[in-house]
Amino acid sequence: MGTFIDASNNAHGFVFDGSTYTTLNDPFGGISARGISGNTIVGAYTDAKNRTHGFVYDGATWTTLDDPLFRASGITALYGIDGGKIVGNTLTGTVAGAAFLYDGATFNHPFGIEGLLMGLHHQFFGISGNRIVGEYNDKPFVYIIPEPATYLLAALGGLSLLAICQRQRNRTSPQP
């Protein structure tokens, strides 16, 4: 899977199954195929207004998938897919950006919105299971998607700590 530029300078995606190349021509504009899981391909395309959008192609239907964080003024590129999880990056020009994980319903930005000053921001490029590969400051990293139980344990720990602090405060408070 990848991208090629034809003689007319138009971008096309392709899939290679080991013996045959299949060209991917989405109906929106020039595309860049970036990730594949089963029969589903993700990537980015540039529309007639020179805006970049993410796409999901299931072999029959092309669907635009843009991060709502910067939908009005940004760029969304999908880079990896594993089952129903998609990773990518969104940018608004040269000012701000965010790496994201899309779970089929919600965009999660684990590092928040980051300024693009000197190119220092997280980027996601691939996913397998609960591991995401990416880059920060030109250095590779692996991000582990926290399990829901991890969040629950952290919340319970925080509540327990608050209860202990409250109890301690009540013990040391002067009685009327």
Residue 159 CA to residue 144 CA, distance in Å, equals 24
Question: The pTM is what?
Answer: 0.76
Residue 87 CA to residue 175 CA, distance in Å, equals 56
118, pLDDT greater than 90: no
From the number of C-beta atoms within 10 Å of its C-beta (0-12, 13-18, 19+), residue 127 rates as buried
148, pLDDT greater than 70: no
